[in-house]
Structure 1
């Protein structure tokens, strides 16, 4: 059985590890800290192709992930399908709507639009609650014979020496690991609140002014920010006020009760790096998924497994 080591324990690393197991590989998982320290632990995690390129590959990955989530709805694992209102403009990439199953997406009526939206789709999409889904995936990996170790890798040379095949799923950490000038943070600040009695929606039509509400089983996530090249991981009270003001501007009259303010840095790139390394041909890079890690991770993992099966 061919051995593979996956580096990174966020949603991209975990799905890659499990998909490789399902394809017959012996898999080890390494990360500098557990999944509960990853960016994936912090996010709202709804199926939504946000700030990710290239478009054609993203559409395919997102479609495959949608199909995988449909088979992964298990009581208590954090996966369910919910209606989601998504605003768009004439310039928006709406190709993802054609990838959904028949009857799972439609145009929103004027009466259904939150205030400030001119056009939107209502789609039935997967919601993955990280605090439930990541532990479920990690346990699934271990029960399938996977091995896990906490270890910080400081160079590509060190990474390549880990195994016969090595998958780099280190997210923003790949910037220093790979000296990747294209990879940069997109800072997100969100508010975790008591569950609200409004529809889940997202308005990504104004760059730098992302606004959304994601209703989960026990709480609601209100966002957010999408600041490019911003490394600040501290809570900014001004951003909290900004997020709440945008919520009011969208016509929401309910006053949210804030439980927690969370900041995370999305790994943004001009295009996802999904390729073998030129200097270390046993290393495959799978990072730079922007704000769409949960949306495309399973799709990337499936294509990755196909690639390695052909090389094996």
Structure 2
């Protein structure tokens, strides 16, 4: 059997690796036109903190995706591969001046080893009249390190990576027995999915080695230390296709982050970055028999629409999508009997 994965961002790579684990005798190939720094995954902060807005088809499935994802990242964190893969443990705070529900997260409270209410002293760790807060311990994945690590691991396990722009599923007719679509925002055209929209994000990366914890505030404000620096963010601009750095957004990010931690004014600038998060109100992980109109139907499993939570939740949706591939493969075998 030959399975093709379209897309080589975080979702595509974790899905391809999971397929290799489950189908040891199959040929798994990745087909993509964007790699590493050209993917949306490369820009992401990579902190495991899926929002309560992250939604699968049911509440139980959503929780399973989050739980499976955390176990995946935590297993890497505890392994000898952690430093190479760019995975580590990180603690942080989320603060609010408005509503206590903003700092609560029922999924994370069940999954993370620590997720608790912040006390009065902790509310004063950052400038601002914070009224509510939570402390948590979670996982950080540095995409810049994990993407090449995962690609190398995939190739070492006899995986093949092809550089090609796929404009239509019909172009893959006869090449693969099953296709897994992990094209992110590319699925907007490939699947004619107008419910998939970009949410633009912009960040600043700085050197501030004295920052050892993550901090979240309101208005999509966050300060997240990583392997090579500290990410300052951010913005969440619905249905914006702008990929250029906006100086107004940059000034807003600086003002909000500096107000939380004034010491950041002394940080050393590394770079600006922005990306378009592929958002769908309900993340699409489902099978489809795609009618090519001329050469029959293709068996496809879709896995896209994670919004700003593709890094942290990709292992869970990868595992789920592989189960759907197994179902399609089983139905093919049964049809031959």
Distance (Å, rounded) in 1 between the aligned partners of 2:129 and 2:257: 10
Correspondence list, 1:215-294, <5 A: 215-255=225-265, 256-280=267-291, 282-294=299-311
Residues 58 and 197 of structure 1: CA distance in aligned 2, closer, same or farther (over 3 Å): farther
The structure whose RCO (Cα within 8 Å, separation 6+) is larger is 1
Query: 259-268 vs 301-310, which deviates more?
Result: 301-310
Distance (Å, rounded) in 2 between the aligned partners of 1:167 and 1:202: 34
**Contact 2:88 2:141 survives alignment (8 Å):** yes
**Contact 2:286 2:324 survives alignment (8 Å):** no
**Contact 1:160 1:166 survives alignment (8 Å):** no
Deviation at 1:86, TM superposition (A): 2.6
**Contact 1:43 1:130 survives alignment (8 Å):** yes
Distance (Å, rounded) in 2 between the aligned partners of 1:44 and 1:221: 7
Aligned counterpart, 1:96: 107
Q: Cα deviations across residues 157-203 of structure 1 (Å, max 9, x unaligned)?
A: 22455411000100011111111110111000100101342331223
Deviation at 1:218, TM superposition (A): 2.3
**Contact 1:266 1:290 survives alignment (8 Å):** yes
Correspondence list, 1:300-311, <5 A: 300-311=317-328
Aligned counterpart, 2:335: none
Correspondence list, 1:35-184, <5 A: 35-50=36-51, 51-54=53-56, 56=59, 57-73=61-77, 74=81, 75-87=83-95, 89-92=99-102, 94-101=105-112, 103-113=113-123, 114=126, 115-159=128-172, 161-184=174-197
Residues 7 and 117 of structure 1: CA distance in aligned 2, closer, same or farther (over 3 Å): farther
**Contact 2:299 2:328 survives alignment (8 Å):** no
**Contact 1:195 1:218 survives alignment (8 Å):** no
1:12 aligns to what SS in structure 2? helix
Distance (Å, rounded) in 1 between the aligned partners of 2:209 and 2:45: 14
Distance (Å, rounded) in 2 between the aligned partners of 1:124 and 1:160: 46
Distance (Å, rounded) in 2 between the aligned partners of 1:43 and 1:276: 27
2:109 aligns to what SS in structure 1? helix
Aligned counterpart, 2:216: 202
**Contact 1:10 1:35 survives alignment (8 Å):** yes
Distance (Å, rounded) in 1 between the aligned partners of 2:130 and 2:308: 21
1:269 aligns to what SS in structure 2? strand
Structure 1 length as normaliser, TM-score? 0.92
**Contact 2:201 2:235 survives alignment (8 Å):** yes
Larger Rg: 2
**Contact 1:81 1:125 survives alignment (8 Å):** yes
Aligned counterpart, 2:7: 8
Q: Which runs of 5+ in 2 are unaligned?
A: 292-297, 330-337
Distance (Å, rounded) in 1 between the aligned partners of 2:114 and 2:238: 32
More helix by share: 2
1:49 aligns to what SS in structure 2? coil
